[in-house]
């Protein structure tokens, strides 16, 4: 039988943070070079690009926060 690989919360959180960083970086570069591509203005302002990346990362940040708090608890107890 084949084993199913389950992705842990830490892996999912890391992937979402990486995705958010790539999201912001890609849209920022696209906005920066949009003048070379089209004569129209780019649709998203910079603050919306950054906020969308922060929201993507913030949705999964409680997982990282709980991991950090568990490690702090282990240090205090142990």
Q: How many CA atoms lie within 13 A of 48 on its CB side?
A: 5
Burial (Cβ within 10 Å: 0-12, 13-18, ≥19) of residue 50: middle
- Prediction pTM value: 0.68
> Average model confidence (pLDDT) for the chain?
83
Q: Residue 49 — pLDDT band, cuts 50, 70, 90? A: very high
């Amino acid at each position: 039988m084949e084993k199913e690989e389950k992705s842990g919360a830490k892996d999912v959180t890391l992937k979402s943070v990486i995705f958010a960083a790539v999201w912001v970086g890609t849209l920022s570069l696209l906005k920066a070079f949009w003048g070379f591509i089209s004569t129209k203005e780019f649709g998203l302002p910079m603050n919306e690009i950054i906020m969308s990346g922060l929201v993507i990362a913030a949705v999964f940040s409680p997982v990282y926060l709980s991991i950090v708090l568990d490690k702090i608890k282990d240090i205090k107890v142990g």
